[in-house]
């Protein structure tokens, strides 16, 4: 589909910084006229700009930029630790769990040491490093192309492996959360991983601190109504609680849990 190609093109240029028309033709197997039309549409999104002979990333895009995980991991540290401690209560012995590359999801790993026969599946390099500290955990590493911004492995190999797996619990982080657009993120290849694992599995758990609610990013990867549980450090606004109560979505906060 053309929309998928446009998304791929945009993320490629954002990752590379710039690309020539010829490079885009070869990369996406389309004609020079098609590339010109696609670039004209992409520049309307506001994240890319035309340059002589090609296209480059706009140095001042209106959309939220992807923040390196080294910086994200230091934000709201106490809240993330509390979320990790709560999230682990959902994990039972003999389960398989998926952790995405968010800076919050890996916070449950230290609390898994008392669980038995838990398998951790992840494409996050930082989560793999942390999980390796606990001999009781079984670890499945998803390979692919390394993305330095998210410190994770992405691409077709990652997606192929995920598509073969039936996972008991999927823990997802999100740049923004709204009822209208659901769970959103800024990085296209990371979103593809999140979309694939969310589509393949049912028990989806959002791990997000209170600052993520009411904000959104460029790309949606999961509808809010499709969640199994939300783990956060403060009760979300009443509109979210109403939807969760109606849809039977569990809410875990340091405060009393929302009744099913």
Cα dihedral 67, 35, 46, 219 sign: negative
Question: Structure tokens of 141?
Answer: 């590493």
Question: Are residues 114 and 108 in contact, defined by beta-carbon separation less than 8 angstroms?
Answer: no
- Give the per-residue pLDDT at 186: 87
pLDDT one-digit tens code per residue, 186-215: 888 899 999 999 999 999 999 999 999 998
Q: Would you say residue 62 has pLDDT above 50?
A: no
- In three-state secondary structure terms, 46 is coil
H or E segment to which residue 22 belongs:
helix 21-28
Question: Structure tokens of 82?
Answer: 């509390």
Domains of the chain in sequence order = 2-57 (1.10.10), 69-252 (3.40.50.1360)
- Give the per-residue pLDDT at 64: 45
DSSP 234: S
- Give the per-residue pLDDT at 76: 62
pLDDT one-digit tens code per residue, 133-192: 999 999 999 989 998 888 999 988 999 999 999 999 999 999 999 999 999 998 888 999
Q: Would you say residue 63 has pLDDT above 70?
A: no
Q: How many CA atoms lie within 13 A of 76 on its CB side?
A: 18
Q: Is 209 exposed, middle or buried (0-12, 13-18, 19+ CB in 10 A)?
A: buried
**What's the mean per-residue pLDDT of the chain?**
88
- Long-range Cβ pairs for the range 12-15 (8 Å, 24+): 13/42, 13/48, 13/55, 13/56, 13/57, 14/47, 14/48, 14/57, 14/188, 15/147, 15/189
How many whole angstroms separate alpha carbon 61 and alpha carbon 64? Answer: 8
- Give the per-residue pLDDT at 258: 44
Please, what's the b/e burial string for 94-115 (b: 16 or more CB within 10 A of its CB; e: otherwise)? ebbbbbbbbbbbbbbbebbeeb
Q: Would you say residue 47 has pLDDT above 80?
A: no
- Give the per-residue pLDDT at 237: 92
The residue ranking higher by pLDDT, 72 or 83, is 83
- Identify any residues that bridge with 251 across adjacent strands, giving them in sequence order: 230
- Give the per-residue pLDDT at 257: 47
How many whole angstroms separate alpha carbon 17 and alpha carbon 37? Answer: 20
């Amino acid at each position: 589909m053309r929309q998928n190609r446009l998304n791929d093109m945009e993320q490629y240029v954002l990752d590379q910084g710039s690309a020539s028309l010829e490079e885009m033709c070869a990369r996406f197997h389309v004609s020079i006229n098609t590339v010109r039309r696609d670039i004209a549409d992409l520049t309307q999104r506001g994240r890319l700009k035309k340059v002589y002979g090609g296209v480059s990333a706009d140095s001042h895009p209106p959309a939220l930029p992807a923040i390196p995980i080294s910086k994200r991991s230091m934000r709201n540290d106490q809240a993330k630790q509390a979320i990790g401690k709560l999230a682990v209560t959902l994990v039972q012995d003999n389960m398989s769990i998926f952790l995405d590359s968010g800076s919050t999801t890996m916070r449950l790993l230290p609390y898994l040491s008392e669980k038995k026969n838990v398998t951790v599946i992840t494409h996050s390099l930082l989560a793999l490093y942390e999980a390796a500290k606990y001999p009781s955990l079984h670890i499945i590493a998803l390979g692919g192309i390394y993305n330095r911004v998210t410190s994770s492995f992405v691409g077709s190999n990652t997606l192929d492996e995920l598509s073969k797996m039936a996972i008991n619990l999927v823990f997802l982080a999100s740049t923004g959360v709204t009822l209208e657009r659901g769970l959103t993120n800024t990085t296209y290849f990371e979103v593809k991983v999140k979309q694939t694992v969310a589509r393949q599995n049912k028990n989806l758990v959002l791990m997000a601190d209170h600052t993520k609610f009411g904000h959104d990013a460029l790309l949606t990867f999961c509808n809010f109504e499709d969640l199994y549980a939300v783990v956060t450090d403060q009760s979300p606004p009443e509109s979210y609680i109403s939807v969760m109560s109606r849809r039977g979505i569990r809410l875990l906060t340091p405060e009393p849990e929302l009744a099913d």
